[in-house]
Amino acid sequence: MNDIEKRDDFPSTSKLSKLGITAIGYTAGGIFLFLLNIAARLRGLGLVIGGLVCLVGIASLMSKDPADKKAGIVITAAGALTVLSKTNIPVITTISGTLLSIGAIGLLALGIWRGIKFFIGLKKRS
Task: For 51-109, write each residue's pLDDT tens digit.
Answer: 999 999 999 989 888 888 888 898 999 999 888 888 778 888 889 889 989 999 999 99
Q: How many C-beta atoms lie closer than 10 Å to residue 104's C-beta?
A: 20
Question: Does residue 2 fall inside a structural domain?
Answer: no
Establish if 70 belongs to a structural domain.
Answer: yes
Q: Quick one: CA torsion of 68, 74, 80, 81, rounded to 10 degrees?
A: -160
Q: How far is CA 112 from CA 26, 39, 98, 109, 117, in A?
A: 8, 24, 21, 5, 9
What's the pLDDT score for residue 1?
A: 43
Mean pLDDT value of segment 19-24: 92
What is the pLDDT, as a whole number, of residue 7?
58
Could you tell me if residue 7 is inside a domain?
no
Alpha-helix residue ranges (DSSP H) falling in the chain = 13-40, 43-61, 66-84, 90-125
Q: How far apart are CA 41 and CA 86, in angstroms?
A: 8
Print the domain residue range for 102.
22-121
Give the number of domains in the chain.
Answer: 1
In a domain, 77, yes or no: yes
The mean predicted confidence, pLDDT, of the chain is: 86
Within-domain flag for 126:
no
In a domain, 103, yes or no: yes
Domain annotation covers residue 61: yes
